[in-house]
Amino acid sequence: MVCTNCNKNPVITISGVKLCSDCFIRYFERKVKRTVRQYELVDPKDKVLVAASGGKDSTAALYILNKLCKQRRQKLEAVIIDLGIGDYSKKNLTNLRKVCKKYKIKLHEFSFKEEFGYSLCYIKSVLKGKGFDIKSCTVCGVLRRYVLNKFARANGFTKLVTGHNLDDESQTVLMNQFKGNIWLSAKLGPMGGAVKSKRFIPRIKPLYFCPEKEIELYSKCMKFPVLYKRCPCIVEAYRNRVRVMLNNFEQENPGTKNGIINSFLDVLEFLKSKQKGKVKYCTNCGEPTTAKICKTCEILSKLKS
């Protein structure tokens, strides 16, 4: 058994085609670049910021987008927010510093403790003690998006890259369906956001069509210094149960995740068209929101109550 393109040992089979590590790396990078080109994720005039965590997904996105931006002579930088989850956060930060140093990428560092006064785990604990049972992933997602958007806007970045992949997006589509929040999916897609605002920096997802298993293999083939274990907070997440269920479906019926995303993209523009209107801004902090008070201010208010 050898690679379909050469005589090396294969590391993966994709749609019946066997690929060695070198051929797989070229295949994977071409797929990501094709997504960037097809959905016009990066304009030649863009100043790009990669929201990196130190994990396999954002590290892969950072590496490939950095190569692409260098070819176009565009500016690209990275930013990480330390959540304060013990050794897990420390190792991710150390690994990302190594990657950025090796590829000469400017890295900006923030932490929940600096921005909000407490680590993620402490915030979750305090909220629970006050009777607010908000999941760690919810707190993390809301506060991270808030910090990233403010920093990107203040420093003139025009695109914010995230490491969301095919698995992430298909899970989110199903979660919104299960919870009866289909209109929330209007924010999804290769370029996030249902409405445009000068105060909201567009999120782009170059790994949108990449399965998690391919990203992990690419990361290992490239020998990136990353942790392959999941965030310890995910065990309590609703998403985790959906992930397990969807993985079982994919194993029994290959192509399930692709089917979810392809059918979702067929209706995405319709969903977006129904969400057009005047952008709302938080009456407390001025950030874009869908309500009078943004989720960040809502969480911080409960924390200080």
pLDDT tens digits for range 190-213? 998 867 788 899 999 999 999 999
Q: Do 189 and 216 share a structural domain? A: yes
CB count in 10 Å sphere of residue 103: 14
Per DSSP, 191 falls in state: B
Q: Is residue 299 part of a domain?
A: no
Pairwise CA distance, residues 162 & 103, whole Å: 18
3-state secondary structure at position 300:
helix
CA distances from 69 to 9, 65, 73, 196, 203 (A): 32, 6, 6, 24, 16
pLDDT grade, residue 67 (50/70/90)? very high
Domain-embedded: residue 92: yes
pLDDT-based confidence at residue 136 (cuts at 50, 70, 90): confident
pLDDT bin (cut points 50, 70, 90) of residue 236 is low
pLDDT at residue number 17: 94
For the segment 160-189, what is each residue's pLDDT rounded down to a tens digit?
999 999 999 999 999 999 999 898 899 999
Q: Which of 89-98, 135-144, 226-235, 286-295 has the highest mean pLDDT?
A: 89-98
Residues 71 and 214 in one domain: yes
> Is residue 239, in this structure, part of any structural domain at all?
yes
Would 34 be classed as within a structural domain?
no
Which pLDDT belongs to residue 133?
84
Among 38-47, 111-120, 139-148, 164-173, the least confident range:
111-120
26-35, 97-106, 272-281: which range is least confident on average?
Answer: 272-281
At residue 211, φ and ψ (nearest 5 deg) are -65, 150
Mean pLDDT value of segment 139-155: 93
Statement: residue 218 has pLDDT above 90: yes
pLDDT (average), residues 134-143: 88
HSE toward the beta carbon, residue 161, CA cutoff 13 A: 33
Say how far apart CA 207 and CA 204 lie, in whole Å. Answer: 9
Query: Is 292 inside a domain boundary?
Result: no
Model pLDDT, residue 57: 97
* Residue 64 belongs to domain spanning: 39-279
97 has pLDDT over 80: yes
- Same domain for 162 and 273, yes or no, is yes
* CA neighbor of 88 nearest in space, from 198, 235, 221: 235
Same domain (yes/no): 123, 69: yes
How far apart are the C-alpha atoms of 104 and 69, rounded to whole Å?
Answer: 13
- Residue with the larger pLDDT of the pair 19 and 237: 19
Looking at residue 7, its pLDDT comes to: 86
* Sign of the alpha-carbon torsion through 152, 153, 158, 163: positive
Those residues whose C-beta lies under 8 Å from the C-beta of residue 150, and which sit 6 or more positions away, are 287
Q: How confident is the model at residue 52 (pLDDT cuts 50, 70, 90)?
A: very high
**Residue 152: which pLDDT band, with cuts at 50, 70 and 90?**
very high
In terms of domains, do 160 and 216 share one?
yes
The arithmetic mean of pLDDT across residues 117-123, rounded, is: 87
Looking at the predicted structure, is the pLDDT value of residue 294 above 70?
A: yes
Distance separating alpha carbons of residues 198 and 283, to the nearest angstrom: 17
- Do 247 and 116 sit in the same domain of this protein? yes
Identify the residue whose tokens are 């500016």: 75
Burial 122-153 (b: 16+ CB within 10 A, else e): ebbeebeeeeeebebbebbebbbbbbbbbbbb
Torsion angle of alpha carbons 250, 52, 43, 76, nearest 10°?
-150
* Confidence (pLDDT) at 277: 65
How far is the C-alpha of 109 from the C-alpha of 60, rounded, in Å? Answer: 19
Give the mean model confidence (pLDDT) for residues 51-72. 96
291 part of a folded domain = no
Is residue 125 included in any domain, yes or no? yes
The pLDDT of residue 134 is 86
* Dihedral over alpha carbons 135, 137, 138, 140 (to 10 degrees): 120
Say yes or no to pLDDT of 305 above 80: no
Q: How confident is the model at residue 154 (pLDDT cuts 50, 70, 90)?
A: very high
Q: Is residue 294 part of a domain?
A: no
197 vs 159, residue with greater confidence:
159
